[in-house]
Amino acid sequence: MIAFMIRRIIQALIVIIIISIIGFAIKQSVGDPLRELLGISVSAEEREEFREKLGLNDPWYIQYGRFLGDAARGDLGTSMFYKRPATEVILEKAPATLELVFVSSLIIILLSVPLGIFSAIKPNALFSRFLMGGSIVGVSIPVFLTAIMMVYIFSIKLGWLPSYGRGEVVMVGGWGTGLLTLDGWKHILMPSVALSSIMLPLFIRLIRSEMMEVLEAEYIKYAWAKGLAHKRVWFVHAFKNTLLPVITVGGVQLGVTIAFTILTETVFQWQGLGFMFMEAVERSDAPLLVAYLMFVGIVMVGVNTIVDMIYGLVNPTIRIAGVK
């Protein structure tokens, strides 16, 4: 298991280095840092002097090494709009997005597992057919449309839920959380439902199809032949095997969910990374964009590494492969 973990961590590091190269490339090609620093009224000689001073005339690999060294120390440049270190801006905005992703993942897991299992073991039930039809509709409606419809119904017509912002935020350490107040929960409810609206139907369908395939397996027929109760066969024998592919896909999808926050956060004016990213794009704030890319990349790699380790815990054959 330890060997397996070490191998996964090395792989994760390689991926992070690749992301950093992409980030570096973007930084090099988007805009001229000198113009940001000096404006346009500085002479060409002075420009050249600054260029030399800042190391911009060095070969790219030296510049990349410097970029990597700075990044390792947490320095990803200074945001042009906020006039503050980009890392600081990211860390300030991250809790809002991570909480949003967390709550919608919770919604996805809590609903897709029971619904997926049900529609697999009772594929002909009316409710299963309804779920399958409904999930197609769910996948097909874009997130921002779902979000706008929800705002229209629950905020404008019914007036039950607030339509924008995070509401009351409590600081716990350096982390501003909205999950400790009722007001915060009211605010997070609609954005997280909107964010889960694409992944939830996909997960129901995924769990259903994987489970149906597992139910056809020889070892399930054998479990019936042993006279085991339905509950035991479905929830222990079949579901544990269903979990393996679902965990793998789930890890990747979690990353995609982070990407989807851009849409959701824009509609709900949610002060998170996605919202910040849209603003940064509009303002051509290159250091902030690169910082966002690096941050999301690292989070995704981290999540996938953790998911792989969970997979190793569920699947006994992986554990052995690690021992070798």
Partner 1 sequence: MKKLLEVKDLVIKFALRTGEVTATNGVSFTLKKGERLGLVGESGAGKSVTGFSIINLISKPGYIAAGKVDFLGEDLAKIGDEKMRSIRGNRISMIFQDPMMTLNPVLTIGTQMTETLHQHNPQMGKEEARNIALDKLRKVYIPSPEKRLDQYPHEFSGGMRQRIIIAIALLTDPELIIADEPTTALDVTIQAEIMELLIELCETEDMGLILITHDLAVVGQVTQNIAVMYAGSVVEKGPTAQVIAEPQHPYTQGLIAALPQSSRHGERLNQIPGMMPTLKDIPPGCAFNPRCNQVMDICKTETPGLRPGKNGNLAACHLYPPGQEEQG
* Residue 323 near partner 1 by CB under 8 A: no
Report the residue from 72, 137, 171, 225 that binds partner 1 according to the rule CB under 8 A: 225
Out of 42, 189, 228, 309, the only residue in the binding site for partner 1 (CB under 8 A) is: 228
Look at residue 176 and give its three-state secondary structure.
strand
User: In terms of Cα–Cα distance, which of 67, 75, 87, 84 is closest to 25?
Assistant: 67
Smallest gap from Cβ 216 to partner 1, in A, equals 9
Q: How many residues bind partner 1 (CB under 8 A)?
A: 23
Can you tell me the distance from the alpha carbon of 207 to that of 204, in angstroms, rounded to the nearest whole number? 5
Using the minimum distance from each CB to partner 1, give the nearer residue, 7 or 240.
Answer: 240
Interface with partner 1 (CB under 8 A), residue from 25, 142, 221, 269: 221
Residue among 53, 73, 83, 226 that touches partner 1 (CB under 8 A) = 226
Residues whose CB falls within 8 Å of the CB of residue 136, separated by 6 or more in sequence, listed in order: 201
Q: How far apart are CA 155 and CA 146, in angstroms?
A: 13
By CB under 8 A, tell whether 235 contacts partner 1.
Answer: no
Would you say 305 and 9 are in contact if contact means Cβ atoms under 8 Å apart? Answer: yes
Which helix (H) or strand (E) is 172 found in, with range? strand 170-172
Is residue 320 at the binding interface for partner 1, with CB under 8 A as the rule? yes
Q: Which of 219, 259, 269, 284 is the binder for partner 1 (CB under 8 A)? A: 219
Residue count of the chain: 324
Identify the residue among 35, 84, 129, 232 touching partner 1 (CB under 8 A). 232
CA-to-CA distance for 169 and 31, rounded, in angstroms? 36
The stretch near partner 1 (CB under 8 A) out of 39-47, 186-194, 235-243, 273-281 is 235-243
Tokens of 187: 């605010």
User: With binding defined as CB under 8 A, does residue 223 bind partner 1?
Assistant: yes
Could you give the string, one character per residue 3-42, with x where binding to partner 1 holds by CB under 8 A and - elsewhere?
----------------------------------------
φ, ψ of residue 242 in degrees (nearest 5): -65, -35
d(CA 281, CA 258): 17
Contact positions vs partner 1 (CB under 8 A) = 217-219, 221-229, 232, 236-237, 240-241, 244, 314-317, 320
